[in-house]
Amino acid sequence: MAASTCAAPIKGTHLRIVAVDVCGVPITGDSGLVITSDGFIQAVMSPQYEDGTEFFQRNAGGNACINQKDKPIFKREEITVDWCEVNALLAAYVVDAQLLGDGTPVTGTGFAFGEGGDDNRFSLEIWQEVAGSGACDSSGNQRFIYNAWPNVGNTKHGDYTVENDKSTFQSVSETQAHGVNWLEDVGAPWLGDTAVLSPQRHWIWNVTTTPPPDAGCDSTTLTP
């Protein structure tokens, strides 16, 4: 039997998106995009399954002659994020909208959403705190929960209400299996140097003592 790590996750401290290509490969250099934010209210993950085929047949006496059901098949995760802070560049990339800018160098001031589908893909990472006596390891290092969805896309924006109250922005996305090099280029600091991902991974959850990156409005890039 292997040893295990226990931790009680609470809150959500940081969220980061990293641009990936159509194959889920992280985009490095000037064409890439990395944004870390703490301006989100919640992120809700809803697993999507295809129900297993059911085989049921009664015999002539009305009793079950065949009674079997195949296992459900996992297809993808649906991830809904509610944002209390609208980062123009982040929002424009996530929903594949036109970025509106001003100045030199250009500062993203807004976005214009139009017809068509969303071609942009990204990895999504969320860090959490660890509650109680397990908040730190035996050496006194703070522990964090690292959640990662390495290949996210097909994003839709949700309702946006203007009224005598706060306005929040919502994005609804779907996952695909992780792409090559994602672990090395994006997730390695929080999963460890010896981590290996089996094929077809959609959601990763790990306890780590590596802190999350700092939140900020401006974007950065991945170093090639």
Q: What confidence tier does 77 reach under pLDDT thresholds 50, 70, 90?
A: very high
- The single residue listed with the structure tokens 């964090």 is 144
Per residue in 110-139, pLDDT (tens digit) is: 999 999 988 999 999 999 999 999 999 999
pLDDT at 168 over 80: yes
Q: Which residue has the higher pLDDT, 194 or 41?
A: 41
Domain residue limits, the chain: 9-49+75-208
Beta-bridged to residue 10, according to DSSP, are 129
- The single residue listed with the structure tokens 């998106």 is 17
- Distance CA(81)–CA(155), nearest Å, equals 11
Report the amino acid identity of residue 120: N
The pTM score is 0.93
- The sign of the CA dihedral 132, 133, 134, 135 is positive
Q: In this structure, are residues 89 and 105 in contact, taking their beta carbons and an 8 Å threshold? A: no
Q: In this structure, are residues 197 and 13 in contact, taking their beta carbons and an 8 Å threshold? A: no
Q: Which H or E run contains 188?
A: helix 188-191
- Distance CA(172)–CA(43), nearest Å, equals 10
